[in-house]
Structure formats: structure tokens, C-alpha cells
Chain A
Amino acid sequence: MDLLTIGQIINTTLVFATALIFASLGGIFSEKSGVTNLGLEGFMVFGAFAAGIGAHYAQEAGMDGTTSAWMGVLLAIVLGVVVSLIHAVASITFKADQIISGIVINFLAAGSTLYLVKLLFEGSGDSPLVQGFSKFNVPLLQDIPLLGEALFKNVYPTTYLAIAFVFVTYYIMYKTPFGLRLRSVGEHPSAADTVGVKVLRYRYVGVMISGALAAIGGAAITLTTTGTFSHNTVSGQGFIAIAAMIFGKWNPIGAFIAALFFGFSQAIRNYVQLFDWSQSIPQEIIFMLPYLLTIIVLVVAVGRSSAPSALGEAYDPGKR
């Protein structure tokens, strides 16, 4: 195998990892504030849908490909935030079971996006094909051997944005007062309440950021790899993002590495026929490897979870 192939595999890894990075960062915002978010899949579906129709109508209105794609992202953020309020109201205000509320989001996403697509496009199950983001090359840097091929040639802007968000999330979470308060309501809400942190308000914000980021993740899929929204655009990526979050121990950098790992395992499928040794292995074994490895790593390395201690519990100020 030559350098060129290795570079291309890294490049494809990043493309597949992009959506997972966004969604798992979203999961971190919600769960650090103490609200379990099993609805990431649903938020991604809503985002992928919004991006598809947003970009479509922006293009109809005469915008060029890149601008319309950004309009799609914008609409995804708006819809992600709006839908996240359902999860927030149910699980924070009405103290519903947070896992159930997340599952409800997934149900609503699967139903309502397809319903709307059929309504808007005369019964078709797919949204019209949009141009989306185009790949670009970074001048000069693209000529570096290996690294150029891997990181600076044929790249999407969303990938760079995702990586930037990893560090932004890390900074917000661990270096700002906002991050400290957000984490405190997830670890010890009554203590945070005592020192004047508005627990419910911080949780609302955490869930809303979560919805927005996961929706951007879904949008990234529509606007880069598929170009259209249909029922299988997201197909389980939200659950993998949850895995990436837990795998990365609720830390943005950890989740980033885990997302790269899952992205790599998806990328490798495209290249697996290049290796001689892989010919005799059934493809199913290669497909199941990342999930198998996740379990093994959870057993060996992670052990007892490092989840926020108040995760999944509704906050009741009367119960101290």
C-alpha cells in the first residue's frame, strides 16, 4: 500500500467522522448539564432534513451552491434548537424519563421529516438533489506528501468546522464560567443551586446547544456525501455518536478521537479490497469490528463509567 492510499483513507475517515464529531459534541453539552440525550439520532435526522430542504429552496431562490448550503446549515440549527425544546420541556420541566423523551425525539424525527418531504415534494420519499458543499484544495499545503493528500486536498469546509468545534467545546467547557456552571448542574445540581446557578436554565441551554450541534452533524451528511435527504440518510449515526461520546468519556477531545475511530472503520470498508490479506475475510467481520472493539475497550480500559453524576435525574429543588 502506498502513501497515496493511506492519505486517501485518512481523508475519507475525516469525511465520515465529521457528522459524528458534531453530534457527539452535542451529546456532551446535554449530558454534562445532566440531561441524558438518546435523541441525538432524531436531531441528526431533523438536521439532515432541514439542510436538504433549506439548500433546495435557497438554490431555487437563485443563491449559488455554497451560499445555499450554508442556508441549509442555518435552517438545520434553527430546527435542531426548536425540536430540542420538546426534549427539554419534557425532561427538565415535566421531569419525564429522559431516556424515553430522547426516544420520542427519534420517533418524531422519523415520522415528521418523511411526512414533510412527501408533503413538500408531491409524494416523493427523497428531497430533491442539492449541490451542497464542494470539495476544495488548500493551496501550497496540498503539495505536502501524505499530509496534503490526507488533510488539505478534496476537503469539505464542514470537516474543518467540526475540528474547530472540538477545541471550542473544550475551551467553553473547561475554561469559561459558563462551562463550569454547566458542568456543576450536571454533577451536583443542588450545590449549584445553592450558590445561585439557575439549574433548569443551564440545562435548557445545554439541551438546546445539543440539538443545534447534532442537527449540524445531520446537515453535514446531506450537504457533503448524499446531497439529498431520505429515510436512510442518517441511519444509526446518532447512536454511534452516543457511543463516541461515552467512549471518549464525555470529554470533547476523547469524543473526537472516538469519532475518528468510527469514521476510520467506515472508511476502511471502501478500501478493504486493496489489502491482500483481507480477501479471505468475510466483509461482515470487517463491518462488525468497530463495534466489537468498542465493547472490548469499554470492558478493558473504561470500566466504571465517568458520566456526570446527576445524569438522568430530574432536578427537584424541594428534594435536597
Chain B
Amino acid sequence: MNNVLKWFTRDSFILPVVAIIMGLILGGIVMLIGGYNPVEAYGALFKKVFGDMYNFGEAVREMTPLIMTGLAFAFASRAGLFNIGGEGQFLVGMTAATFVGVKFTGLPIFIHAPLALIAGAVFGGLWAAIAGYLKAKRGVNEVISSIMLNWIGLYLANLIVRQFLLQPGENRSQNIGESASISIAWLSELMGNSRVHMGTIIAIVLAVLFYIYMWKTKQGYEIRAVGYNPNAAEYAGMHVNRNIVKAMFISGMLAGLGGAFQVLGVFQYQTVMSGSPGTGFDGIAVALIGLNHPFGVLLGALLFGTLTYGSAGMSFAADVPPEIIRIVIGSIIFFIAAQGIVRWVLKPFYSKRKKEKVL
């Protein structure tokens, strides 16, 4: 019990929570200035998400890819890498899963679906490993190479869909085989025919595995050591370059799986895209809100998904432009990043607490 209490008073808990509250308040102020009623708007937002089973299921669906790209960013961050390429890895993973889903028909479901998932993970991982390899071998900044790989990934995905998988007469791929689908029919029925799928469960399991790997294994320790101080890690006999490539590969696997979930669980096909879907970038926000911790990422995705999905209800019921939510999320990240501001706001409370201790 004492441990639980201690956890709730820790900085890593208080600071994000206060940052979230401050972000919501700031959003409310912006709404007030725009002539809207923030209480009504936030009410409509939460009613949209938690109002009925269908919308709740769809909100969960919305969160799932965010968990994956969030975990992807957080994993690379632990190794000191800024993986801004989640977007490209997501798309490449998606395309690999679509390819297997469409082309490898005739397989039983317990082989076809896992195979498509693995393809998505591996190709997403390889895509990220390119940036990792260039960083390790040639010192190319991973931020710039992964931005470039995002664009290349977008066009590569479109190229593959258009050349090999096109549904005649339409700007999208053929449907994946039914044996590749990871939808959960009974759960979907239970939740008002929303598009819930297996991916959500896999995502949560992977968050737990992330935690175990990073904090309970030797390999995870090495990755964190490289992230803290590559020179010290090198001196201690760790292979810094190998760890950089490995961390990027695992990071890309997570993002790639997120893309695979979208095709295999939600849409059952892949469209030719005019621009990136943005899930990779949103994953960065999710990871930052979650302080690059896997369980924080789950909470971050919950928050991000709730706000984004619910914002549609906000614009419907209270006529507030849903874009306001991006301001809220932006300010939450801002307050988390600039902890100095939050500490400054909390200062009166902190000093009060210290006084109590003295007494």
C-alpha cells in the first residue's frame, strides 16, 4: 500500500498529470476565446468515446496503431535514437502485410494471418534498420535519413500497390484473403459491429514484453546503456553500433506491425495514398506523453486516441472545430517537455509540502 502511495507522489506521475490538466485548461481557454463553451465541448468529447459500445470499440481501434508507433518511438529513444521515421516504417509494414494478405491465399488462417503480421514486422524493421545502419556505419544523422525514408516509403508503398495488388478500376489494392484477417468477429458483434481486432491485444502484450526486455534482460540493459552514454558503453565493452542497428530494427518492427494491424484488422485493403497517414508522427506525441515508458505509451495512446476520436463528437454536438484537440495535445507535450514551467506552477504546493515535513 505504501508503495502505491509513493508511486502516486512521484515526479514521473505528477508532472505528466499536471501537464495534461494544464493542456486541457489551455484548450478550454482557446475555446472560450473562440466563443465556445469548453465544458460542453469536453462533455461531448467524452460522451462520443464512452457513450455507446460501437464508438468505444472504434476509439479502441483508433488507439491501437498509436500504441504501436508510440512504442516504436519510445524503444528507439531508450537507445538514444530519435526515430522520426515511424511513418515510413508503418507504411512499409502495412504494404508487406497487404502483399502477403493478398498474394498468399490458400493458407490456413493460423498460418496466413501470423505470416502477414510477421512480414509487416520484419519489413518495417528492415526499413528502420537502414537508418540505423547509416547512423552506425557512416554517421548519418538518423533524423534526416528517416525523414527521407518516410517519403521513399510512401512512394514505394504506392508503387507496390499499383503495380502488383491493384483492384481493377479502383485506386486501392485487392482485398486481403479472409484467412489473413485478424478481426475478432464475436467481439466486434458484442461491440456494436465496431472494427475491433486482435492487434489491440498484441499491442498490449508487446508493451509488457517491451518492459521486460528493456528493464529485466541484459540486452535491454545494453541498449539503455548505449542510450545514456555511448562512449561509456563502448568503454565497458558493449558494441554500440550493433546496438544502434538492433534498437532501430526492433523499433521499426513495432511501427511496421502497427501498419499491418490497420490492413489486416481494420480496412482489409490498402489505398494508394496522396500523403502520409500521420500515424508515425502521432506516435512521437504518444511516446512523449508517456515519457518513453511502455506503460506510459499505453496511457498516452489512451489519452491521444480518446481526444482525437472524441473530437469528432465535439464538433458534432458543440460545433467546436475538432482541430482544437491538436492544440491541446501540443500543449500537453509542451508542458511535459518544458517541465520547468510545470515545476514553477507547482512550486507553491511543493514548498508547502516541505514545510509540513519540517513540522
Encode contact with B along A252-294: 1 for CB under 8 Å, 0 otherwise: 0000000000000000000000000000001011011001101
Whole-angstrom distance between the Cβ of B230 and the nearest chain A Cβ: 15
Within 8 A of B (CB), among A98-118: 99-101, 103-104, 106-108, 110-112, 114-115, 118
Encode contact with A along B127-162: 1 for CB under 8 Å, 0 otherwise: 000000010001111011101110110011011001
User: Does any Cβ of A come within 8 Å of B244's Cβ?
Assistant: no
Stretch of B57-65, B103-111, B116-124, B320-328 that contacts chain A: B320-328
Are A104 and B334 closer than 8 Å at their CB atoms?
Answer: yes
Q: From known contacts A107-B330, A288-B151, A305-B139, infer whether A295 and B341 are also in contact, taking CB-CB under 8 Å.
A: no
User: Does any Cβ of B come within 8 Å of A86's Cβ?
Assistant: yes
B residues less than 8 Å from A180 (CB atoms): none
User: Does any Cβ of B come within 8 Å of A243's Cβ?
Assistant: yes
A93 nearest in chain B by CB position:
B340
B residues less than 8 Å from A90 (CB atoms): 334, 337-338, 341
A residues less than 8 Å from B176 (CB atoms): none
Q: From known contacts A243-B147, A299-B134, A305-B139, infer whether A285 and B159 are also in contact, taking CB-CB under 8 Å.
A: yes
Whole-angstrom distance between the Cβ of A100 and the nearest chain B Cβ: 4
A residues less than 8 Å from B152 (CB atoms): 288, 291-292, 295
B residues less than 8 Å from A163 (CB atoms): none
User: Does any Cβ of A come within 8 Å of B171's Cβ?
Assistant: no
Whole-angstrom distance between the Cβ of A4 and the nearest chain B Cβ: 30
User: Does any Cβ of A come within 8 Å of B275's Cβ?
Assistant: yes
Are B330 and A284 closer than 8 Å at their CB atoms?
Answer: no
Within 8 A of A (CB), among B57-88: 82, 84
Are A246 and B144 closer than 8 Å at their CB atoms?
Answer: yes
Are B330 and A108 closer than 8 Å at their CB atoms?
Answer: yes
Are B148 and A294 closer than 8 Å at their CB atoms?
Answer: yes
Q: How far is the CA of A110 from the CA of B325 in the complex (A)?
A: 10
Query: How many chain-B residues does the 8 Å CB contact rule pick out?
Result: 46
Q: From known contacts A94-B338, A119-B34, infer whether A303 and B323 are also in contact, taking CB-CB under 8 Å.
A: no
Q: How far is the CA of A104 from the CA of B82 in the complex (A)?
A: 15
A residues less than 8 Å from B330 (CB atoms): 104, 107-108, 111
Are A114 and B323 closer than 8 Å at their CB atoms?
Answer: yes
B residues less than 8 Å from A86 (CB atoms): 334
Within 8 A of B (CB), among A1-51: 38
Q: What size tier do the contact residues of chain A reach?
A: 35 or more
Within 8 A of B (CB), among A61-120: 86, 89-90, 93-97, 99-101, 103-104, 106-108, 110-112, 114-115, 118-119
Please classify the interface of chain A as helix (H, G, I), strand (E, B), loop, or mixed, using the class held by over half of its residues.
helix
A residues less than 8 Å from B82 (CB atoms): 99
Q: How far is the CA of A5 from the CA of B334 in the complex (A)?
A: 48
Are B321 and A288 closer than 8 Å at their CB atoms?
Answer: no
User: Does any Cβ of B come within 8 Å of A144's Cβ?
Assistant: no
Whole-angstrom distance between the Cβ of B117 and the nearest chain A Cβ: 25
Are A96 and B340 closer than 8 Å at their CB atoms?
Answer: yes
User: Does any Cβ of B come within 8 Å of A141's Cβ?
Assistant: no
A residues less than 8 Å from B326 (CB atoms): 107-108, 110-112
User: Does any Cβ of A come within 8 Å of B217's Cβ?
Assistant: no
Are B324 and A115 closer than 8 Å at their CB atoms?
Answer: yes
User: Does any Cβ of B come within 8 Å of A235's Cβ?
Assistant: yes
Are B139 and A303 closer than 8 Å at their CB atoms?
Answer: yes
Are A303 and B138 closer than 8 Å at their CB atoms?
Answer: yes
Are B321 and A104 closer than 8 Å at their CB atoms?
Answer: no
User: Does any Cβ of B come within 8 Å of A239's Cβ?
Assistant: yes
The one of A101, A123, A232 in contact with B275, judged by C-beta atoms closer than 8 angstroms, is: A232
Whole-angstrom distance between the Cβ of B199 and the nearest chain A Cβ: 25
A residues less than 8 Å from B323 (CB atoms): 110-112, 114-115, 118
User: Does any Cβ of A come within 8 Å of B329's Cβ?
Assistant: yes
B278 nearest in chain A by CB position:
A110
Are B148 and A284 closer than 8 Å at their CB atoms?
Answer: no
User: Does any Cβ of A come within 8 Å of B163's Cβ?
Assistant: yes
Q: From known contacts A295-B134, A298-B144, infer whether A107 and B285 are also in contact, taking CB-CB under 8 Å.
A: yes
Whole-angstrom distance between the Cβ of A2 and the nearest chain B Cβ: 30
A residues less than 8 Å from B84 (CB atoms): 38
B residues less than 8 Å from A119 (CB atoms): 34, 321
B144 nearest in chain A by CB position:
A246
User: Does any Cβ of A come within 8 Å of B284's Cβ?
Assistant: yes
User: Does any Cβ of B come within 8 Å of A320's Cβ?
Assistant: no
User: Does any Cβ of A come within 8 Å of B331's Cβ?
Assistant: yes
Q: How far is the CA of A235 from the CA of B325 in the complex (A)?
A: 19
Q: How far is the CA of A89 from the CA of B340 in the complex (A)?
A: 11
The one of B148, B156, B324 in contact with A243, judged by C-beta atoms closer than 8 angstroms, is: B148
User: Does any Cβ of A come within 8 Å of B333's Cβ?
Assistant: yes
Q: How far is the CA of A114 from the CA of B158 in the complex (A)?
A: 28
The one of A95, A110, A235, A285 in contact with B340, judged by C-beta atoms closer than 8 angstroms, is: A95
A residues less than 8 Å from B144 (CB atoms): 242-243, 246, 294, 298
User: Does any Cβ of A come within 8 Å of B339's Cβ?
Assistant: yes
Q: From known contacts A284-B158, A295-B134, infer whether A115 and B334 are also in contact, taking CB-CB under 8 Å.
A: no
Residues on B facing A (Cβ under 8 Å): 30, 34, 82, 84, 134, 138-141, 143-145, 147-149, 151-152, 155-156, 158-159, 162-163, 275-276, 281, 284-285, 288, 321, 323-331, 333-334, 337-341
Closest 6 CB pairs of A and B: A111-B326, A107-B330, A94-B340, A284-B159, A96-B338, A114-B323
Other than the given A90-B341, A299-B134, 17 more pairs (CB < 8 A) read A38-B143, A90-B338, A104-B330, A104-B337, A107-B333, A108-B327, A111-B325, A111-B326, A115-B30, A236-B275, A243-B148, A285-B159, A288-B151, A295-B145, A302-B140, A304-B139, A307-B141
A-B contact pairs, 12 of them (CB 8 A): A94-B341, A106-B281, A112-B30, A115-B34, A115-B321, A118-B323, A119-B34, A236-B275, A282-B162, A291-B149, A295-B145, A307-B141
